[in-house]
Amino acid sequence: MLIPMEIMENHPSMTFYHHIENYQLLEMMKTIDVGLLPTWADTYGYSVLEFQASGCPVISTDIRALPEINDNTIGWTIEMPKNEFREIQIKSKEQKIEARISLQNQLKNIVLNILKHPEQLKRKSLGAYDHVTKNHSVEGYMEKLDAIYEEQFR
């Protein structure tokens, strides 16, 4: 069953934003339990990293770079049909509808699982934060770059 956008936008337990300023979003991230990025085309996943840096585990799709920064140990992933480049693979209107229904069903199952087992939130929250600090910190990147340049100019 495909859920119309109007239902999601007007549902009493959801707040739907068409646009929000970045500073407002960063503040909001500190107050929520789960981030949601069911994207079909995100190229790098900065918003996932921002959620994780706020200690907020994320539900994301498994396309493009997202599997490199989010997985089922520190968040949740929604499997999408993809090609060898991890880009969404949809060749017809029927496949698009099937993919959308699958995404919604997987999302529903993940949310129901979170509600049934809320204890996983703390573990995944700590794991997400730890993942970002170990693998995506500015200091860590600077150390890696320094090591590359030191090796190159020896």
Range of the domain at 137: 5-152
Q: How far is the C-alpha of 25 from the C-alpha of 22, rounded, in Å?
A: 5
Which helix (H) or strand (E) segment is 36 a member of?
strand 35-37
Q: For 39-53, 78-92, 119-133, 136-150, which range has the lowest pLDDT when averaged over its residues?
A: 136-150
Q: How far is the C-alpha of 109 from the C-alpha of 96, rounded, in Å?
A: 20
Number of domains into which the chain is organized: 1
CATH of residue 143's domain is 3.40.50.2000
Task: Quickly state the pLDDT bin for 137 (edges 50, 70, 90).
Answer: confident
For residue 151, report the phi and psi dihedrals to the nearest 5 degrees.
-65, -40
**Each residue of 20-61: pLDDT tens digit?**
898 898 888 888 899 988 888 887 888 899 999 999 999 999
